[in-house]
Every structure is written in C-alpha cells, then in structure tokens.
Amino acid sequence: MKERIETMISAEAIGKRLDEMAKEIGAEFEGESVELVCVLKGSVVTLVEIAKRLPMPVTMNFMDVSSYGDGTESSGKIKINMDLDVDIAGKNVLLVEDIIDSGRTLSHLRKLLLERKPKKFKIMTLLDKPDRRVAEVPVDYVGFTIPDAFVVGYGLDYAQKYRNLNFVGILHFDEE
Ligand code: IMP
Ligand code: MG
C-alpha cells in the first residue's frame, strides 16, 4: 500500500483561521496573561502557531497523557505520562488541541485540570470531527469542523510521520 495525502486545508487557510482565532482569544483575555497548555505531541504545531499570533503575554506548558483502554475498558481515566510543571490555580488557562475525535481524552483532561482551580479555563482545537464524538466536551474555539476522515499534518501523525506538513491532508492508502 502506498500512502497518498490529499490536501484538505491549505497552509494559507490555516494561517488565516488562526489569525481570526487569535483575535477572538485575545479579546477574551484582554489585559491578562495566559498559560497555554499543549497536549503532546499532536498539538505542538498549533500551540506554536497560535502563540505567535496572540497579543497578550503567554507561557508554553506541556503535558503528555494517554487514555486507559479504548473500547470496553474505557473507565473514565487518563494516565499522566508527563504533568505540567506549573500550578495553574488562579491562572488563566487555554488548552490547545490538535483535533477532537471521540472527545474521551479531552473530557477526562478537562475534569482533571478544572480540579486544579484555574481562574478561567478555555479550550481551543484546530480541528473538530463531531461525527465521532462519544464524550461531550464544551470547546470554546474551533478552527475547522471536518468530516470523518483520517487526517495528517500540522502536528497530526500517522505512525509518527507527517507532523511537519504545513497543511492538513487526508491520508489515503492506494494499491501499489
Ligand atoms: P479522542 O478525541 O480522545 O478520541 O482522541 C483525539 C486524539 O486522537 C487526537 O489528539 C489525536 O492524537 C488522535 N486523532 C484523532 N483523529 C485523528 C486523525 O484524523 N489523525 C491523526 N490523529 C488523530
Ligand atoms: Mg491530541
């Protein structure tokens, strides 16, 4: 099987949308600073690109989580592989996601971070695949709502590849 990538959202379109989102987010947090929280690894590119466009002071913070057993074992728990190195209590937090699919990971992560009592807690995602949603999560800023397809690029990977593409594309497997 040969992997082929079909452009879904161009670099230009992503850049334009992020400009718009940065304006909205900037208005929300006007005059205040924000802790950006990146969920590794897929959100790295979006975090950097939104950070570059935001008008207020921000810090960049990283965490790595994995969800316990997909399918039947989905007990409502996530495992923290690497936690934040800042206390977010009383701080403004913007959680930056690459894509929301089932919503399971994000829903658990949201609960966990809210327990830490941030001042304001908002979620942004570059992509949203609502057709596949299992766990409802309130998302404050959505870049693009996309149909149910497997996409790569702009941080998103297939077997760790394609994260560095500057656009979002659908991954196809063609017969050789
Ligand atoms: P969920 O919302 O808990 O199902 O998990 C979302 C995570 O699954 C994302 O952060 C991605 O790492 C991964 N994911 C979901 N859909 C895609 C896709 O189309 N391409 C690449 N990774 C994806
Ligand atoms: Mg992710």
Q: What is the pTM of this model?
A: 0.94
Q: Which residues are catalytic?
A: 101
Tokens of 27: 């208005």
153 Cβ below 6 A of ligand 1: no
Would you state the pLDDT for residue 78? Answer: 84
Contacts with 149 (C-beta within 8 Å, 6 or more apart), sequence order: 8, 170
* DSSP for residue 116: T
How far apart CA 34 and CA 53 sit, in angstroms, is 13
pLDDT tens-digit profile, the chain (176 residues): 899 999 999 999 999 999 999 999 999 999 999 999 999 999 999 999 999 999 999 999 999 998 765 544 455 678 999 999 999 999 999 999 999 999 998 999 999 999 999 999 999 999 999 999 999 999 999 999 999 999 999 999 999 999 999 999 999 999 98
CA gap 117, 68 in Å, rounded: 24
Q: How far is CA 166 from CA 2, 9, 39, in A?
A: 21, 10, 19
Q: How far is the CA of 32 from the centre of ligand 1 (A)?
A: 31
Q: In what order do the strands lie in the sheet with 141-145?
A: 78-82, 58-67, 34-39, 92-100, 120-128, 141-145
Q: What is the pLDDT of residue 51?
A: 98
Where do the H-state alpha helices sit in the chain?
A: 11-28, 44-53, 104-114
Q: How many residues does the chain have?
A: 176
Non-local (6+) Cβ contacts of 99 within 8 A are 42, 125, 126, 127, 128, 129, 151, 156
Closest alpha carbon to 92 in 52, 122, 61, 55:
122
Ligand 1 mean position to 97 CA, how many Å? 10
Ligand 1: residue of 41, 101, 142 to mutate (most ligand atoms within 8 A of CB) is 101
pLDDT at 70: 52
pLDDT of residue 76: 60
Q: What local confidence, expressed as pLDDT, does residue 116 receive?
A: 98
Q: Confirm if 88 and 63 have CB atoms less than 8 A apart.
A: no
Place of tokens 């050789």: 176
